[in-house]
Structure 1
Amino acid sequence: MVEQQDVVNINIASVIRQIKNNKRVYIIVFVVVGIITSLHIVNVPRTYTTDTKLAPELNVGMKNGGGLADIASSFGIDLTNGQFSDAITPLLYPSLMEDNKFIASLFGIRVTPIKLHKPVTYFDYLSHDQEKPWYIKLFGEKKEKDVLHVSNDQYKLFYPYLFTKEQDKVAKMIQDNIILAVDSKNSVITITVTDQDPLVSKQVADSVRNKLQEYITHYRTNKAKRDLAYYRKLMLDAKRTYEKARRKYSAFSDANTEVLLTSVTSQQEDLENDMQLKFNAYTALVSQYNGAQAKVQENTPAFTVLKGAAVPDKPTAPKRMIFVLVMEVLAFFITTIVVGRKKIAKIFN
């Protein structure tokens, strides 16, 4: 048994006639909505967006075909299947924006807003120099008691995993303003920054790129630098031991120049052999130290800036004309429903 469905027929001519009969109502609604939405959107701060692209050197965990992988990557083809020798792969870099320690390192960035004409920290800029929408200005905003001014290096005194309310507020603003994205095919890192000041967005994008480079370099070279410091300590200790043995041998030889006793000669040979052993240990450690230096250089990644951050000349949001147009269209449909509510009720009854 087939159930019959009710079909609602809408007479377009009737709708157009209804609009003409209520033309004055539509005009009033359009004018009022246009004025209200325009006043609203004009008083919402505009934001500017810029981006920069960075290509870090990769430690690919492939013993064979490394050259082929390099050639393929230049065409956007990944032959590594995500096999990197690093524990932290490029795909994990966006997670840095969730780490309070990395966010806190951005507090001290020096920026120069166009309206201020003087350098301030990014923390102070976000805390005190942001334009507020009209409704926040009208109704006010709850003020925090622990408002801080942060100097260039003062962020280092913060404990990043125990922010104050003001620090946490600024940290969330930074997380909203900065986006890190990594292309899974070629591992190109894109840093996108949105701010109310176009010059600030460019300066922050450059600073985040530099901070990211420092982080990657520190991670790649951290173990090699620890090994370098260890071998340097051993080398210096061996050098001091060798110099002590050499002075002891020289002093004994000078004191017994004309002595021909066998016991003295034997003792002199023992001191010479001991000095030679310590010298050999010292030279071996010098070689290891030089190798550790080369390892640090080898692990230091090279970076290529594929696209530098530019000062945006046009705001990206809000889209004022689109917002007003959408509100006008919405007002049209609501007005049509309200004006023709009786006919609509008859259709569905």
Structure 2
Amino acid sequence: MTTEQHNRDMEPLNPNTDEMEIDLLDIVRKIIGIRKTLYKAAVAGAVIGLIVGFSIPRKYTVTVTLSPEMGDSKGNGGLAGLAASFLGSGASMGTDGSDALNAALSSDIVSSTPFLLDLLDMQVPSPDKDGEETDFSTYLDNQSSPWWSYVLGMPGMIIGGIRDLLSSDKEPAAEKSGLIVLTQEESDKIESLKKNISAAMDKKTAITNISVTLQDPKVTAVVADSVVRKLQECIIGYRTSKAKDDCAYLEKLYKDRQQEYYNAQKKYADYVDTHDNLILQSVRAEQERLQNDMSLAYQVYSQVANQLQMARAKVQEEKPVFAVVEPAVVPLRPSGMGKKMYILAFMFLAVFATMGWMLLGKDLLHRLRNF
């Protein structure tokens, strides 16, 4: 009785299962029926993938890994603290290490316009002539592009040419502090570099990865190494700029106070020499006053000298240390998708697009027309 009841409970599910099996078999039969069309679609997709694969130039990627020293609170440690211990507790220059520009902003620094603009003037190996060099801007002009980029860019080139013909003579660039005036060619190159040069930092480990992608392996490695060096110079320049300014100011102040002390010393010596045999009270008072002026000038001169030594030590202390974990290595294989992957991808897309159209698209279009 229990078995019969169970069978009765399962009977309503059988028609749906049979219908599903029939639908799957029907779909399989339809796919088999259009197999010749799918073969043609696969061949067409392979041809398109082959064309696309050969049209897209090969690119190489070089990644440099840095472990930079992060700005932290140094207090009286380092060279400045050592100088303070020798010069006395009164000679101190507080440093909190909180920099507005540090390794955490590597990504923004590398993608900034001034940084990339400086890269255009650097020398790189010439891909066409062994042993010769060319500037990076000229190298970018000679990079190849897919044929469809020229087709898509043709309207813009025509409009730009007409605009140049109709426009008046170019006005001289305004010379203002902090103002950067770029030509259209320079702007296009910088936008391209922003896509091909990147920096990413791991906030937990402070490891910074700098990646450069270009079409020549040697040029890619040279540019990656140059980006790392310029990034280091940029961060070091900022981290030490305040200390260098303080040091330059103290150098000038030191010379001024030194000259004041020498002048006070000379006045005192001259007065003592000319009034050596006089015992008047007024002479003693003037002599004491000049001696006090000389002592005060010496105290100020000595304090400035101590601060100058502290500032010189701080310049060296503020220089961050960058450990290159993985240097720039000339890549042996191109990055990105290879020609085989393009062929397989387009074959896959062509087969499934044709299958979807033959099995669903036609019926859907027919229903929409009859609606």
1:265-322 CA-to-partner distances (Å, cap 9, x unmatched) read 5434433332222122111100011111122222221111111111111110342111
- Kept in 2, the 8 Å contact 1:46–1:318? The answer is no
**Could you tell me the percent identity over the aligned residues?**
31
Q: Secondary structure at the match of 1:185?
A: coil
1:310-345 CA-to-partner distances (Å, cap 9, x unmatched) read 111111034211111111122222344555679967
| CA RMSD, Structure 1 to Structure 2 (Å) | 3.6
Q: Larger Cα Rg: Structure 1 or Structure 2?
A: 2
Structure-1 residue corresponding to 2:192: 173
- Kept in 2, the 8 Å contact 1:97–1:180? The answer is yes
**2:108 partner letter:** S
- Kept in 1, the 8 Å contact 2:31–2:355? The answer is no
- Kept in 2, the 8 Å contact 1:48–1:316? The answer is yes
Indicate which of 299, 306, 309 corresponds to 1:280: 299
Greater CA drift, 234-243 or 116-125: 116-125
CA distance in 1: counterparts of 2:100 and 2:54, whole angstroms: 48
Which has a greater percent of helix? 2
Instruction: Give ranges in structure 2 of 5+ residues lacking alignment.
Output: 1-15, 76-95, 165-174
- Tell me the number of residue pairs that the alignment of Structure 1 and Structure 2 aligns: 313
CA distance in 1: counterparts of 2:265 and 2:314, whole angstroms: 32
Structure-2 residue corresponding to 1:40: 52
Q: 1:284 to 1:159 in 2, by over 3 A?
A: closer
**1:17 partner letter:** I
Instruction: Give ranges in structure 1 of 5+ residues lacking alignment.
Output: 64-82, 147-155
1:14 maps onto 2:29 in alignment: yes
CA distance in 2: counterparts of 1:157 and 1:178, whole angstroms: 29
Greater CA drift, 274-283 or 177-186: 274-283
Q: 1:48 to 1:158 in 2, by over 3 A?
A: farther
1:157-201 CA-to-partner distances (Å, cap 9, x unmatched) read 996644221221111111101111000111111101101111121
Greater CA drift, 234-243 or 224-233: 224-233
Q: Note the 1:1-349 alignment, pairs <5 A.
A: 9-11=23-25, 13-15=28-30, 17-19=32-34, 22=36, 25-61=37-73, 85-88=98-101, 90-117=103-130, 118-126=132-140, 128-136=141-149, 141=154, 142=157, 161-256=180-275, 259-262=277-280, 263-337=282-356
Q: 1:348 to 1:186 in 2, by over 3 A?
A: same
CA distance in 1: counterparts of 2:231 and 2:41, whole angstroms: 52
**2:127 partner letter:** I
1:230-276 CA-to-partner distances (Å, cap 9, x unmatched) read 2222111101111222233333444455x334344543443333222
- Kept in 1, the 8 Å contact 2:48–2:346? The answer is no
Q: Secondary structure at the match of 2:120?
A: coil
Q: Secondary structure at the match of 1:105?
A: helix
Structure-2 residue corresponding to 1:149: none
**1:53 partner letter:** T
Q: Secondary structure at the match of 2:198?
A: strand
Cα distance, 1:139 vs structure 2: 7.5
Greater CA drift, 137-146 or 161-170: 137-146
- Kept in 1, the 8 Å contact 2:102–2:235? The answer is no
CA distance in 1: counterparts of 2:105 and 2:367, whole angstroms: 55
Q: Secondary structure at the match of 1:207?
A: helix
- Kept in 1, the 8 Å contact 2:62–2:328? The answer is yes
Q: Secondary structure at the match of 2:61?
A: strand
Higher RCO (C-alpha under 8 Å, 6+ residues apart) = 2
